[in-house]
Structure 1
Amino acid sequence: MKILESLKWRYAIKKYDKSRKIASTDLEKIKEAVRYSASSYGLQLYKILIIEDEEVREKLRAASFDQEKVTDASHLVVFCNYTNPTPDDVDKYVKLTAETRNQDIEALEGFSKSMKKNIEAKGEEVDHWTENQVYIALGTLLAAASELKIDSSPMEGFKPPEYNKILGLEERGLNAAVIAAIGYRSEEDTYHHQAKVRKPSDELFETI
Structure 2
Amino acid sequence: MSVINALEWRYAVKKFDNSKILPQHKIDILKKAFNLTATSYGLQPVKLLVVSNKALQSKLKEASWNQPQVTDASHILIVCIEDQIDSVYIKNYFNRVKHVRNTPEDILEPFQDFLINDFESKSKEEIINWAKNQAYLAMGNLLTVCAIEEIDACPMEGFIADEYDKILNLHTQNLRSVLALPVGYRAKDDMFSGFKKVRKPISDSIIEID
- TM class, shorter-length: over 0.9
Which blocks of at least 5 consecutive residues in structure 1 are unaligned? none
Local SS of the residue matching 1:66: coil
5 Å matches for 1:62-101? 62-101=62-101
1:106, 1:92 → 2: CA distance?
16
Contact 1:18–1:74 (Cα < 8 Å) also in 2: yes
1: CA distance, partners of 2:26 / 2:165: 28
AA of the residue aligned to 2:195: Q
2:135 is paired with a residue of what secondary structure?
Answer: helix
Distance in 1 separating the partners of 2:131 and 2:164? 18
On the 8 A contact 1:95/1:105 being kept in 2, the answer is no
Paired with 2:117 and 2:5, the residues of 1 have a C-alpha distance of 43
> 2 CA distance for matches of 1:7 and 1:98?
38
1:136 equivalent in structure 2:
137
Distance in 2 between residues matched to 1:72 and 1:41, nearest whole Å: 37
The SS at the match of 1:34 is: helix
Q: 1:206 offset after TM fit, Å?
A: 2.1
Structure 1 residue 107 displacement after superposition: 2.6
Inter-partner Cα distance in structure 1 for 2:93 and 2:164:
28
Q: Which residue type is aligned with residue 189 of structure 1?
A: D
CA distance in 2, matches of 1:145, 1:67: 20
Aligned pairs for 1:6-21 within 5 A: 6-21=6-21
Q: Distance in 1 between matches of 2:103 and 2:129?
A: 32
Deviations 1:101-129 (A, max 9, x none): 12233431111111112222221311111
Matching of residue 61 in structure 1 with residue 64 in structure 2: no
Verify: 1:168 aligned to 2:169, yes or no: yes
The structure 1 segments of at least 4 consecutive aligned residues displaced by more than 3 Å after TM superposition are none
Amino-acid identity (%): 35
Give the drift of 1:149.
0.6
Q: CA RMSD in A?
A: 1.3
- Please name the residue that 2:43 is paired with: 43
3-state SS in 1 of match to 2:155: strand
SS at match of 2:31: helix
- Tell me if structure 2 keeps the 8 A contact 1:156–1:178: yes
Cα separation, 1, equivalents of 2:175 and 2:43: 15
Count of residues in Structure 1 that have an aligned counterpart in Structure 2: 208
Q: Distance in 2 between matches of 1:131 and 1:30?
A: 19
Native 8 Å contact 2:34 2:48 kept in 1 = no
Give, in whole Å, the separation in 1 of the partners of 2:166 and 2:40: 28
Q: Displacement, 1:5?
A: 1.1
Deviations 1:47-82 (A, max 9, x none): 110011111111100000001110111110111111
2:23 aligns with 23
Give the aligned partner of residue 121 of structure 1. 121
Task: State the partner residue of 1:159.
Answer: 160
Deviation at 1:33, TM superposition (A): 1.3
Alignment partners' CA distance in 1, 2:131 and 2:27: 25
* CA contact 2:33–2:142 (8 Å) conserved in 1: yes
Per the TM alignment, residue 140 of structure 1 is displaced from its structure 2 partner at its CA by 0.6
The answer for unaligned runs of 5 or more in structure 2 is: none
1:59 and 1:130 mapped to 2: Cα distance? Answer: 26
